[in-house]
A and B are shown apart, each in its own frame.
Chain A
């Protein structure tokens, strides 16, 4: 009994350590000056590259939690690490599965055509929810539009978006 509790504790410790190392690596590739700080605008990229899928609103909440009192424009690693560790240990902001994402596209495809036109996608992505910037929109359209048909075959596109790294 005691042995297995020890083992469980050991596993939890090693999981904790691994998660912290993973966060460190992700932080470091964005830390240009190697001084354990990153630009505040890159935090979203780091959080998401670690497999989390927060909304912009949720991301803002995270930022409030860790930003400096004076507006330095930088986030320090020592503040980021404990917050991010907690998120990953608790498995928060896990992306929803592929079929849910597909369903989301189907909701937007009111006529059930099986595809979205460029105009439809553009309208929803810039007018609803947490709107895309012009850059985000163009980048999305460039990869989402089928070069032959000129429309968004969202079933294919969903599988491109959801290929899992792990």
Chain B
């Protein structure tokens, strides 16, 4: 046959390879090529995961940094009577008014002035909540109905009253049910909760559940998820155990979407609903112990945590776990020791809700997240031994398979929000413990598994995910454009516009606060010249950040964009009546807070200009939602680069059509990439 295969296999000259031999050589060649192809795909899948996770944690770090800053400000202001009372008042909303709260039985006020309109078509609730009503709620939310604010507040009120009677630590027993189910983070993803109920049944005497925190934030249906869980708890208080997560926290909710969702769904009553939820969250128990054998907590443990002192502390003090409780009493001989005790208690709660297991021995500050700690296998061992537990179940971290074992199988992470970073990024899972020895059985799932849409191949799935991760990464890069340029130029002493690959990577490592494999990503982020030098301007692909309502220079907008999420948190604190508007002065104050905290250089004059340009109808008020949503990333032709990224904007409608939307957004994502840089998708 005409074609000869010139492989570098040693072969005797003059002897033609037999057809069989040639086939074997051909097969080996194809097999090794294919295995390399798959390995490259796998590496892409891994770094995609690294990008998503790194961006998620850098956001949390920002949030905590900002919070430490708030703390020092509050302390400073309480000493300085001539300080800015406006800021102090704004922060007051995150301070527990616990003296008042204890006296008034009802923080949300009277419900008498809230009537059920005759036009209301949603579900009706009457207390006490029964199993039948839980089903009604589930059906109603499936049909995208909204629960009337009066019913919601009544339910929250009832939940708070019942939670108040609970201890800090739940004790669950399987003596009757012979089994129990443990679920991890749900993050406002109703379809995952429905999947769990579908596979595992609703909570009942025979079917107890532990929900291990992080019910809200990030996903589009936080209200519905939290409402159903609380309704389940009210209907089966002895079979449903709710643990607090780090997102059952007012300050986290300001940044990660829950408050925004409340405002969107309960506009006029948003303040009441927010306060009612915050109250409920602050009464959630901190841990559940199953049959005295298994401890279930949201984050983990540290060498500070002791069950004894956890049982004693006043959990209700922490409306936000992110800050230590403020001291109300002044003076007194024992105030110092009381304060120390308070701090010690607070640190325990923080560690419980925020920590992650690591393989390093001992306990180290959690630098990646910025809060809680990393606890090592030795910490786990001594803690389990001391309390005679066999296993620690925790959640808090998204895992590709929905679960993961650490510390020789003594720590089990469970995460129940599938497709957490994007469609196809991860499975969700829950744990079933059954029999007298609490045998572990893990059930994995994907929320929208059975779709009529053509199944994507492995390659397509990874390309979709990668495109979405790369877009997130590009936005982060763009937000640091001027810092990066400055760093690149340090390496480019001759002003050639090019630097070595090594220098480019180390500049990215220095400036960016995400820990990703820059050398692997390099070919997707920048172009090389013929000498294999990085043309560093191509890092930004001629994209730029624009703002629809403001014509201020690149650098000002870049800074505001970079801190957009932190600004949103500050705005929401200022916006005490949840109107969505803040005054020009407040806007400027928010920016100055940011400047002081981040040591960015922005002149007061520049902020004032931005503020002015945002006051569209010149009434001194700024619609900050509009301000935040008006950022656009455009290329030099002015084409909008952000468009498909806003697909979550209409998350409510997303529910039913999630399969079609996922594919559509994939395709548009891919199309988008193709128009910007053709090589991204073709590379394998």
Known: A22-B519, A33-B359, A165-B40. Is A132-B684 also a contact (CB below 8 A)? no
Contact in complex: A45, B5 (CB < 8 Å): no
1/0 per position for A20-60, CB-CB distance to B under 8 A?
01100110111001110000000011111100111110000
Known: A49-B42, A161-B33. Is A104-B26 also a contact (CB below 8 A)? yes
Residues of chain B from 505 to 549 with CB closer than 8 A to chain A in the complex = 505, 517-520, 523
Known: A34-B359, A35-B360. Is A139-B517 also a contact (CB below 8 A)? no
State the CA gap A37–B29 with chains docked (Å).
Answer: 30
**CB-based nearest B residue for A165:** B683
1/0 per position for B33-45, CB-CB distance to A under 8 A?
1111111101100
Contact in complex: A95, B36 (CB < 8 Å): yes
Tell me which of A33, A48, A130 contacts B28 (CB under 8 A): A130
Contact in complex: B5, A107 (CB < 8 Å): yes
**CB-based nearest A residue for B358:** A34
Contact in complex: A161, B520 (CB < 8 Å): no
Contact in complex: A129, B27 (CB < 8 Å): yes
State the CA gap A160–B32 with chains docked (Å).
Answer: 15
Contact in complex: B32, A53 (CB < 8 Å): yes
Residues of A within 8 A of B29 (CB): 96, 100-101, 104
Tell me which of A18, A103, A161 contacts B37 (CB under 8 A): A161
Q: Does A5 contact B (CB under 8 A)?
A: no
Q: Does B24 contact A (CB under 8 A)?
A: yes
Contact in complex: B22, A107 (CB < 8 Å): yes
Contact in complex: B39, A100 (CB < 8 Å): no
Contact in complex: A25, B518 (CB < 8 Å): yes
Q: Does A166 contact B (CB under 8 A)?
A: yes
Tell me which of A17, A106, A166 contacts B3 (CB under 8 A): A106
Known: A34-B359, A107-B22. Is A25-B36 also a contact (CB below 8 A)? no
Q: Does A108 contact B (CB under 8 A)?
A: yes
Contact in complex: B3, A125 (CB < 8 Å): no
Residues of A within 8 A of B34 (CB): 132, 136, 140, 161
**Chain A's interface: helix, strand, loop or mixed, by majority?**
helix
Min CB–CB distance B681 → chain A (angstroms): 9
Min CB–CB distance A157 → chain B (angstroms): 10
**CB-based nearest B residue for A127:** B27
Residues of chain A from 98 to 126 with CB closer than 8 A to chain B in the complex = 100-101, 103-108, 112, 124-125
Contact in complex: B359, A100 (CB < 8 Å): no
Min CB–CB distance B367 → chain A (angstroms): 12
Q: Does B151 contact A (CB under 8 A)?
A: no
Contact in complex: A101, B3 (CB < 8 Å): no
State the CA gap A136–B34 with chains docked (Å).
Answer: 9
State the CA gap A25–B359 with chains docked (Å).
Answer: 19
1/0 per position for B417-448, CB-CB distance to A under 8 A?
00000000000000000000000000000000
Tell me which of B23, B33, B47 contacts A95 (CB under 8 A): B33
Tell me which of A22, A106, A163 contacts B682 (CB under 8 A): A163
1/0 per position for A60-81, CB-CB distance to B under 8 A?
0000000000000000000000
What is the interface size of chain B, counting residues whose CB is below 8 A from a CB of the partner? 48
Residues of chain B from 390 to 426 with CB closer than 8 A to chain A in the complex = 406
State the CA gap A6–B635 with chains docked (Å).
Answer: 43
Residues of A within 8 A of B38 (CB): 48, 136, 139
Min CB–CB distance B203 → chain A (angstroms): 33
Q: Does A142 contact B (CB under 8 A)?
A: yes
Residues of A within 8 A of B684 (CB): 160-161, 163, 165
Known: A108-B23, A139-B458. Is A100-B7 also a contact (CB below 8 A)? yes
Min CB–CB distance A22 → chain B (angstroms): 5
Tell me which of B23, B31, B517 contacts A130 (CB under 8 A): B31
Residues of B within 8 A of A125 (CB): 27, 30-31
State the CA gap A34–B46 with chains docked (Å).
Answer: 14
Q: Does B502 contact A (CB under 8 A)?
A: yes
Min CB–CB distance A29 → chain B (angstroms): 4
Q: Does B457 contact A (CB under 8 A)?
A: yes
Q: Does A90 contact B (CB under 8 A)?
A: no
Contact in complex: A104, B520 (CB < 8 Å): no
Q: Does B501 contact A (CB under 8 A)?
A: yes
Min CB–CB distance B379 → chain A (angstroms): 15
1/0 per position for A130-166, CB-CB distance to B under 8 A?
1110001001101100000000000000001111111
Min CB–CB distance A93 → chain B (angstroms): 9
State the CA gap A44–B47 with chains docked (Å).
Answer: 17
Contact in complex: B520, A26 (CB < 8 Å): yes
Min CB–CB distance A47 → chain B (angstroms): 8
Q: Does B500 contact A (CB under 8 A)?
A: yes
Tell me which of B26, B42, B502, B683 contacts A163 (CB under 8 A): B683
Min CB–CB distance B257 → chain A (angstroms): 29
Contact in complex: A107, B43 (CB < 8 Å): no
Chain A residues within 8 Å of B, Cβ to Cβ: 14, 17-18, 21-22, 25-26, 28-30, 33-35, 44-49, 52-56, 95-96, 100-101, 103-108, 112, 124-125, 128-132, 136, 139-140, 142-143, 160-166
- A-B contacts, 18 listed (Cβ < 8 Å): A18-B501, A26-B43, A29-B517, A45-B39, A46-B43, A47-B39, A54-B32, A55-B31, A95-B33, A104-B25, A107-B3, A124-B23, A124-B26, A125-B27, A128-B24, A128-B27, A130-B32, A139-B38
In the complex, the 9 A-B pairs of residues with the closest C-beta atoms, listed nearest first: A48-B39, A49-B43, A129-B27, A128-B27, A25-B517, A129-B28, A104-B26, A107-B26, A33-B359
Chain B residues within 8 Å of A, Cβ to Cβ: 1, 3, 5-7, 22-40, 42-43, 46-47, 50, 358-360, 406, 457-459, 500-502, 505, 517-520, 523, 682-684
19 additional A-B pairs beyond A104-B30, A143-B458, beta carbons within 8 Å, are A25-B517, A25-B518, A33-B359, A48-B35, A48-B36, A48-B39, A49-B43, A100-B7, A101-B29, A107-B26, A112-B1, A128-B23, A128-B27, A129-B24, A130-B28, A132-B31, A142-B457, A143-B457, A161-B33
